[in-house]
C-alpha cells in the first residue's frame, strides 16, 4: 500500500495502461491534495447520505470512502460535519460521484475530498443504500479493497490483484520521464532534438 503514497495519478494511469481513471468531473476541492488507500465502497441513492455515514462507521483506518452517488447534483451527500467525522475516524479521504457543501470549511479540515462540485442543498435521509459492494464511480468499477490514488489530475483505481505490478510500472515510468527530462530539457537545441527524434520514429 505504501508504494502508492507518493505516486502521481499520471504514473499510476500509465502503469494501468491508461485504464481505470474516473470521469474528469471528479476533482479535489484543493489542488494540493493527494490521497491513497484501500477502497471502502458505498452505493448511495441519489442525494441520500444514510449509507455514507454507515460506510464511514464500518470503514477501516486508512481507507478511502468511495461513494457512488449516481452523479446527482441536487443534494449534497456530505458537508463539513460529515467530512469531519470521516477525518476523526482516520479515513485517508472521500471520493464522491455527486456533490458536497460547505467547501470552505472542508478545505480547512484538509482531508482530501474529491467530488463533482457543490450545492447549497442538504442531503436527504429517507432511503438506505448498500456498503462494501462493487460500485461504479465516475465510470470506473470499484471493488472493496481496490487501491485508490487521487490528486489534482483526477482519480485512478488499481485492482487489488494488480497493485504490485502497477506500482512497479508507475515507478519505471517516473524514472523514464526523469531521464528524458535530463537528456532533452533545458535548451532550445535539446527540445528540437527530442521533437525531431520523436517525429522520425512516429510520423508515417
Q: Distance (Å, rounded) from C-alpha 187 to C-alpha 49? A: 54
Q: Distance (Å, rounded) from C-alpha 173 to C-alpha 152? A: 19
Query: Which residues are annotated binding-site positions for substrate?
Result: 79-82, 101
Q: Distance (Å, rounded) from C-alpha 192 to C-alpha 197? A: 9
Query: Which residues are annotated binding-site positions?
Result: 79-82, 101-102
Cβ atoms within 10 Å, residue 192:
11
CB-count exposure of residue 3 (10 Å: 0-12, 13-18, 19+): middle
Interacting residues of 196 by C-beta distance below 8 A, sequence separation 6+: none
Task: Judge contact between 131 and 39, C-beta under 8 A.
Answer: no
Tens-digit pLDDT string for the chain (204 aa):
788 999 999 999 999 999 999 999 999 999 999 999 999 999 999 999 999 999 999 999 999 999 999 999 999 999 999 999 999 999 999 999 999 999 999 999 999 999 999 999 999 999 999 999 999 999 999 999 999 999 999 999 999 999 999 999 999 999 999 998 888 878 898 999 999 888 988 877
Q: Distance (Å, rounded) from C-alpha 61 to C-alpha 45? A: 25
Walk me through the domains of the chain, giving residue ranges and CATH numbers: 2-165 (3.50.30.40)
* 172, containing H or E segment: helix 163-184
Query: Which residues are annotated binding-site positions for Mg(2+)?
Result: 102
Task: Look at the pTM and tell me if it is higher than 0.85.
Answer: yes
Amino acid at each position: 500500500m505504501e508504494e502508492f503514497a507518493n505516486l502521481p495519478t499520471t504514473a499510476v494511469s500509465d502503469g494501468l495502461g491508461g485504464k481505470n481513471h474516473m470521469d474528469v468531473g471528479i476533482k479535489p476541492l484543493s489542488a494540493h491534495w493527494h490521497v491513497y488507500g484501500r477502497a471502502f465502497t458505498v452505493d448511495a441513492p441519489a442525494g441520500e447520505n444514510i449509507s455514507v455515514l454507515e460506510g464511514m462507521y464500518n470503514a477501516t483506518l486508512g481507507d478511502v470512502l468511495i461513494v457512488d452517488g449516481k452523479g446527482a447534483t441536487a443534494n449534497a451527500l456530505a458537508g463539513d460535519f460529515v467530512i469531519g467525522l470521516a477525518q476523526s475516524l482516520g479515513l485517508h479521504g472521500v471520493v464522491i460521484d455527486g456533490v458536497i457543501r460547505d467547501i470552505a470549511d472542508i478545505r480547512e479540515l484538509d482531508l482530501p475530498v474529491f467530488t463533482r462540485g457543490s450545492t447549497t442543498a442538504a442531503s436527504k435521509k429517507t432511503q438506505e443504500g448498500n456498503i462494501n459492494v462493487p460500485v461504479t464511480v465516475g465510470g470506473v468499477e470499484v471493488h472493496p479493497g481496490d487501491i485508490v490514488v487521487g490528486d489534482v489530475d483526477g482519480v485512478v483505481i488499481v485492482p487489488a490483484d494488480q497493485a504490485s505490478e502497477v506500482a512497479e510500472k508507475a515507478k519505471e515510468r517516473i524514472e523514464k520521464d526523469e531521464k528524458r527530462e535530463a537528456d532533452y530539457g533545458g535548451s532550445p537545441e535539446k527540445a528540437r532534438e527530442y521533437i525531431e527524434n520523436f517525429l522520425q520514429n512516429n510520423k508515417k
